C-alpha cells in the first residue's frame, strides 16, 4: 500500500458536527437579528405616529389645523400646523385610512392644505426591501467577525486557522550551546536533529523517523528552550504554540486548527511542531464525570493527525508538560510520542554550567565563585539561576559598581529565594530578641550535630515573603540520598527555633509555623514513604500525585492506619523537639552570646558564628579544667 494515500476519516468525522453546530448557531443569531430589527422598527413607528379616525381628520380640515396631507397609497399621513409631541418628547404625525370621498380634495384646496400625491417608485421600494433584509445580516456578520477577532481567531474566515508562531531557519536564535545543565536531554535530542538533517539514511536502512518526543519536567527547567534549540540546530521551520491556543468557545474550532497546523507543517517539511503545555488538550478522556466535547474533539483530531504522518516526511512533534500523569494513554503510546525526555532539576555541575551560560555577557570581578553559588542553590532550576544573575547585575548597578561581585550574587540569591528586605517593617526590642534567639537556636543545633549542614548566614532582617529572619545553610557537597540520621538531624534543626523560644522566654510564638510545617512533612515522609519507622517498617502508605508541580501525596491506607501514622509522626516530632531542647540547655552560654551579637549586627556570616561558638566552647573547657584542678 502506498503510504502517501493514508485515509483521513478522522477529519471527516470531526468536521461534520463542528460545522453543523456552527451553522446552526449562525442561523439562530440571524433570526435573533431579524426579530430585534423588526421590534426596533415597530417601536420607532409607534413612537412617531398616531392613528386617528376619519371624522377627526375631517374636523381638523374644517377647523384649519392641517398643514400637509401625504398620500401613502393605503393611508393619509397628516401633518398638523401646530406639531404635537409624544410622551418621549418626539414630534408626532397622524395617519388615517383612505375612503371614497369625492369632496375631500375640494375641502383640502379650500383650507390651503399642501397635498403630496402618491408616486409609485418600484426601484426605491425594492432597495428598501433588500436593505431591510441585508442590513441586519451585514451587521450580524460584522459583529461576529469582531468577536472572533477579539478571541484571536482571525475573523470569520480565520476562526479555524492555526495560531502557531512560525520561526524559519535560525530565527529561534537558540542552539544547544545556549542550553546547559541538561546533557542527557540534549543527547536524546541530537538524534532528532540528525533525523531532520539526514532522513534518507534512516529510511534506507528501514528505520522509521520518530513521530514525536515529550519533554517532561518541573517548571523552569528549560523544556521550551530545548525545543527551540532543536529547531536552531536543525535549521528547519519551527511551529510554536501552546495547548490552550487550540481551544475556543465554538465546538469544532480546536479540531479545525489542528488540521490547519498539520497541513501547514506538511507543506514545510522537514519541520518541527512544538506544543507547549500539551496537558491543556491532552487530558485523559473520562466519561464518568462528564467531559469537554471541544477538548476531546481537539485531542481526537491530534491523535488522528499524528497517525496520518507520512513516514517519508520529517515532521516531528515536540511537546512539553509538567503533568504527564494526567495525559491520555492514547497520546503517550509509541507511534505518537515515541520518546519521553526527562528534563530534571540540574545537579551541582549543571547549575554551575547554567550560571556560566547566563553570566556570559555580564561583567564580573575576580571575587566571583560560581561553584559556591551553585552549591548554595541546591534544587534551583534554570529560570531561578538566570533570575539570580540578572538580580545581581541590578544590585551591582544600584550600589554603583561596574562589575558583579560575590556579595551581589549571594544577595541576589536571597532576593530570589526569600524576597527583598522589608526596611519599613520595624520590630520592637522584644520581638527582635525573640527572633534572634529563634534563629540562633536553629544555627546552634545545626553546629552541635554531626550530620547537619553547616551554617552560611544568620539574619533577623525581615523579608517580603514573610520571613522575620532565617538561617542559610549550605551543604558541603551535592547529595542525592539522605540517611536516616541526616533526616533526624534536619528535624532537630527545624524545631531548634521553637525550643530556644521556650527555654529563654518560657513561652512560644507563631514564628515557628513554617518550621513545624516542614518538620511534619519530613517526619510523615519517613513513616509513609521512606520506611524509616520502627512501628510500620517497610510499607508504602502514600503515593505521589504530581511529582513535578506541588509534589503532593495521597494516603492509600485505612482510617485506622492513618490515625496510627499521625501518632507515629507526633512521636518522632516530640523526640526531635526534646533533643533540640537538650542541646540548647547544655549550651545556653553559647546561645546567649551569639544571640546578643546577632541583635547588635542584625546579620552575621557563618564564619563569625563559628568563631563565637568556638571561643565560648574553649572558655567553657578551660573553666571546667580549672574546676577539676581546684577539686583535686
Annotated catalytic sites, by residue? 439
Task: Using DSSP, state whether 197 is helix, strand or coil.
Answer: helix
Which residue, 476, 489, 481, is CA-closest to 448? 489
What angle (nearest 5°) sits at the alpha carbon of residue 69, between those of residues 66 and 70? Answer: 160
Please give the Cα distance from 491 to 484 (Å, whole number). Answer: 11
How far apart are alpha carbons 378 and 385 in whole angstroms?
Answer: 11
468: how many CB neighbours lie within 10 A of its CB? 20
Rounded to whole angstroms, what are the CA distances from 95 to 57, 72, 108, 343?
9, 10, 16, 82
* Strands 455-459 and 470-473, bridge-based pairing: antiparallel
Rg of the chain (C-alpha set): 40
- For 367, residues 6+ apart whose C-beta sits below 8 A from its C-beta are 405, 406, 407
- The span from the CA of 469 to the CA of 459, in Å, is 5
Cell of 327: 495525559
Question: What string of DSSP letters covers 147-164?
Answer: HHHHTTS-SGGGTTS---
φ, ψ for residue 97 (rounded to 5)? -75, 155
As to burial, measured by CB atoms within 10 angstroms (0-12 exposed, 13-18 middle, 19+ buried), residue 15 is: middle
Which of helix, strand or coil describes residue 602?
coil
User: Is residue 509 within 8 Å of residue 495, measured between CB atoms?
Assistant: no
Cβ contact 175:268 at 8 Å? no
Q: How far apart are the first and last CA of the chain?
A: 104
Nearest to 466 by CA among 417, 503, 429: 417
As a three-state string, the secondary structure of 405-446 is CHHHHHHHHHHHHHCCECCCCCCCHHHHHHHHHHHHHHHHHH
471's enclosing H/E stretch is strand 470-473
**What are the DSSP E strand ranges found in 117-224?**
165-167, 212-216
List the grid coordinates of 380.
534551583
C-alpha cell at 589: 552560654
Please tell me the chain's helix, strand, coil percentages from 3-state DSSP, rounded to the nearest 5. 55, 10, 30
* Coil/strand/helix, residue 5: helix
Asked if 315 contacts 196 with a C-beta cutoff of 8 angstroms, the reply is no
Amino acid at each position: 500500500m502506498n503510504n502517501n494515500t493514508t485515509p483521513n476519516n478522522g477529519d471527516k468525522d470531526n468536521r461534520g458536527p463542528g460545522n453543523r453546530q456552527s451553522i446552526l448557531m449562525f442561523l439562530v443569531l440571524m433570526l435573533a437579528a431579524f426579530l430585534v430589527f423588526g421590534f426596533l422598527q415597530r417601536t420607532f413607528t409607534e413612537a412617531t405616529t398616531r392613528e386617528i379616525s376619519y371624522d377627526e381628520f375631517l374636523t381638523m380640515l374644517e377647523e384649519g389645523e392641517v398643514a400637509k396631507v401625504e398620500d401613502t397609497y393605503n393611508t393619509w399621513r397628516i401633518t398638523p400646523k401646530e406639531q404635537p409631541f409624544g410622551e418621549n418628547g418626539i414630534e408626532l404625525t397622524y395617519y388615517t385610512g383612505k375612503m371614497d370621498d369625492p369632496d375631500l380634495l375640494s375641502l383640502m384646496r379650500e383650507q390651503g392644505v399642501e397635498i403630496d400625491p402618491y408616486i409609485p417608485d418600484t426601484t426605491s421600494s425594492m432597495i428598501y426591501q433588500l436593505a431591510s433584509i441585508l442590513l441586519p445580516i451585514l451587521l450580524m456578520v460584522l459583529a461576529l467577525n469582531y468577536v472572533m477577532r477579539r478571541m484571536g481567531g482571525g475573523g470569520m474566515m480565520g476562526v479555524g486557522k492555526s495560531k502557531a508562531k512560525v520561526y524559519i531557519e535560525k530565527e529561534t536564535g537558540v542552539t544547544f550551546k545556549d542550553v546547559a545543565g541538561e546533557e542527557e536531554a540534549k543527547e536524546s535530542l541530537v538524534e532528532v536533529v540528525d533525523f531532520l538533517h539526514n532522513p534518507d539514511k534512516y529510511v534506507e536502512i528501514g528505520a522509521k523517523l520518530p513521530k514525536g518526543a515529550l519533554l517532561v519536567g518541573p517548571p523552569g527547567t528549560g523544556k521550551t528552550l530545548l525545543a527551540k534549540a532543536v529547531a536552531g540546530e536543525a535549521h528547519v521551520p519551527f511551529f510554536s504554540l501552546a495547548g490552550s491556543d487550540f481551544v475556543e468557545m465554538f465546538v469544532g474550532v480546536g479540531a479545525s486548527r489542528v488540521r490547519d497546523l498539520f497541513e501547514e507543517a506538511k507543506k514545510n517539511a522537514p519541520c518541527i511542531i512544538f506544543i507547549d503545555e500539551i496537558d491543556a488538550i491532552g487530558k485523559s478522556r473520562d466519561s464518568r464525570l462528564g467531559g469537554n466535547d471541544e477538548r476531546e474533539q481537539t485531542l481526537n483530531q491530534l491523535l488522528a493527525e499524528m497517525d496520518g504522518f507520512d513516514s517519508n516526511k520529517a515532521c516531528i512533534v515536540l511537546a512539553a508538560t509538567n503533568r504527564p500523569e494526567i495525559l491520555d494513554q492514547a497520546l503517550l503510546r509509541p507511534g505518537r510520542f515515541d520518546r519521553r525526555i526527562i528534563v530534571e532539576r540540574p545537579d551541582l555541575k549543571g547549575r554551575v554550567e547554567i550560571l556560566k551560560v547566563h553570566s556570559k555577557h555580564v561583567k564580573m570581578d575576580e571575587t566571583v565563585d560560581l561553584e559556591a553559588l551553585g552549591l548554595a542553590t541546591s534544587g534551583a532550576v534554570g529560570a531561578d539561576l538566570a533570575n539570580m544573575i540578572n538580580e545581581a547585575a541590578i544590585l551591582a548597578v544600584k550600589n554603583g559598581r561596574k562589575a558583579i561581585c560575590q556579595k551581589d550574587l549571594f544577595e541576589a540569591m536571597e532576593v530570589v529565594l526569600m524576597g527583598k528586605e522589608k526596611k519599613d517593617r520595624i520590630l520592637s526590642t522584644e520581638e527582635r530578641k525573640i527572633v534572634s534567639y529563634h534563629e540562633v537556636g536553629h544555627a546552634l543545633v545545626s553546629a552541635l550535630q554531626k550530620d547537619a549542614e553547616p551554617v552560611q548566614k544568620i539574619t533577623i532582617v525581615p523579608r517580603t515573603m514573610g520571613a522575620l529572619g532565617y538561617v542559610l545553610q549550605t551543604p558541603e557537597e551535592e547529595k542525592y540520598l539522605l540517611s536516616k540520621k541526616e533526616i533526624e538531624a534536619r528535624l532537630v534543626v527545624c524545631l531548634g527555633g521553637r525550643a530556644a523560644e521556650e527555654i529563654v522566654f518560657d513561652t512560644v510564638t507563631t514564628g515557628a509555623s513554617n518550621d513545624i510545617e516542614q518538620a511534619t512533612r519530613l517526619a510523615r515522609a519517613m513513616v509513609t514513604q521512606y520506611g524509616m519507622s520502627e512501628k510500620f517498617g517497610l510499607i508504602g502508605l502514600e503515593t505521589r500525585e504530581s511529582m513535578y508541580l506541588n509534589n503532593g501525596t495521597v494516603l492509600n491506607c485505612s482510617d485506622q492506619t492513618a490515625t496510627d501514622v499521625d501518632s507515629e509522626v507526633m512521636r518522632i516530632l516530640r523526640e526531635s523537639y526534646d533533643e533540640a531542647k537538650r542541646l540548647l540547655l547544655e549550651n545556653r552560654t553559647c546561645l546567649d552570646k551569639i544571640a546578643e551579637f546577632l541583635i547588635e549586627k542584625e546579620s552575621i556570616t557563618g564564619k563569625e558564628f563559628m568563631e563565637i561558638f568556638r571561643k565560648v566552647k574553649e572558655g567553657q573547657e578551660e573553666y571546667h579544667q580549672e574546676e577539676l584542678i581546684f577539686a583535686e
